[in-house]
Amino acid sequence: LVEPLARHAAEAGRIVDVLIQVNVGDEPQKGGAAFADAPALARAIDEAPSLRLRGFMAVPPASGDPEEARPYFRRLRTWRDAWAAEEPNAARWASELSMGMSNDFEVAIEEGATLVRVGTALFGQRVDPR
């Protein structure tokens, strides 16, 4: 996805901020890079002049209990911190952690989230258009 996104951004004369989604729960039905693949993806994004890596994002396995998301948020933060300690470009690449949604954003913030996604809390449940 890096190449077409970079190409379209360049054609539009834009620099696009990017977050890498990491599949923190190793769930086959969810998108995102494996932890092992995220560093190479970060380097590929860095090589694209029209893309700017800002950090990482995660969607933990679904649960009704926000505390069940905590280990996944912590896993992403501790992985990012350890990786950033070894990566010379980490100051540019790893500043943002987008973790947490309406049901678990408080736990995500406690675990280091800098961005949260709270659409349901603001706008209510999605309506099925069928």
Q: What is the pLDDT of residues 68-126, one digit of tens each?
A: 999 999 999 999 999 888 888 777 777 899 998 888 999 999 999 999 987 766 777 87
Whole-structure pTM value? 0.86
Residue with more model confidence, 15 or 130? 15
Beta carbons of 74 and 25 less than 8 angstroms apart: no
Residue with more model confidence, 91 or 44? 44
Contacting residues for 86 by C-beta, under 8 A, at least 6 apart: none
Rounded CA separation 10/100 (Å): 31
The yes-or-no verdict on residue 49 having pLDDT over 80 is yes
Nearest Cα residue to 97 out of 122, 80, 120: 80
Beta carbons of 15 and 5 less than 8 angstroms apart: no
Residue with more model confidence, 130 or 73? 73
Beta carbons of 79 and 122 less than 8 angstroms apart: no
